[in-house]
Amino acid sequence: MAKIIVVTSGKGGVGKTTTSAAFATGLALRGYKTVVIDFDVGLRNLDLIMGCERRVVYDFINLINHESNLSQTLIRDKRVDNLYVLPASQTRDKDALSQEGVERVLNELKEEGFDYIICDSPAGIEHGAHMALYYADEALIVTNPEVSSVRDSDRILGLLASKSKRAVDGDEPVKEHLLVTRYDPNRVKEGAMLSTDDIVDILGIKLIGAIPESEAVLAASNSGVPVILQEKEDAGQAYTDVVSRYLGEDVPMRFLTPEKKGLFKRLLG
């Protein structure tokens, strides 16, 4: 049975699309048939980060409006088996997303044997974000370690608890996982950034990982490569750890404490 996971936050620019691409890629690398859907109608960035922007012919709205079928619209990743992308439209409005249309597409994906359906939510709490989270079984709550980002994530938790289909139907609540991005333990130590413990205390959900601040994330995005494929980079390793923890493996948390400097680095300051 396919599991629907929304990657969401209240604030823009926290790394939702980077996370959606990395998380979906990580699941596919583990052998699960995975599709990642871009719900950010009108902007469309997922295809850029996945490196398939030149292969987009039909999009999510075409599929919802019966202007294309699933096989025409899904883009199969060339690097990772079992990984597919469903791109958003750049020319339509978010209101083009209908609840009935989204449900039909999700059901078609389930019938195609997908194990995981990753929904890359737009920022905010408007229509597009509601559509992305409505059918979710689980949620990755992405936040930066700053007060405004954490506060906005708390609003999203409220929506999941009250506006998701599970909440409306009185079913088991959406399972929530906390992911902190752009984490810098040195700034935490200086008191310039919230710690993961602070964020967990505020939001009250379990931490699944922290992605360190890294230039590799921007470089990977610009080159159309999910950062999880950058195996030598801290950020890539951190996302790999997140996928392992999600799949139930006992993986220690890394990148939460300042890196110890060797003698040579200390001498250079």
What was the pLDDT predicted at 150? 95
User: What is d(CA 242, CA 251) in angstroms, rounded to the nearest whole number?
Assistant: 9
Q: Which amino acid is at 148?
A: S
Summarised one tens digit per residue, pLDDT across range 185-239 is 999 999 999 999 999 999 999 999 999 999 999 999 899 999 999 999 999 999 9
pLDDT, tens digit, for every residue of 99-148? 999 999 999 999 999 999 999 999 877 888 999 999 999 999 999 999 99
**Residue 128 contacts residue 40 (beta carbons within 8 Å):** yes
Which are the contacts of 263, defined by CB distance < 8 A and separation ≥ 6? Answer: none
Long-range contacts of 68-73 (CB under 8 A, 24+ apart): 70/105, 70/108, 70/109, 70/112
Res. 263: pLDDT tops 70: no
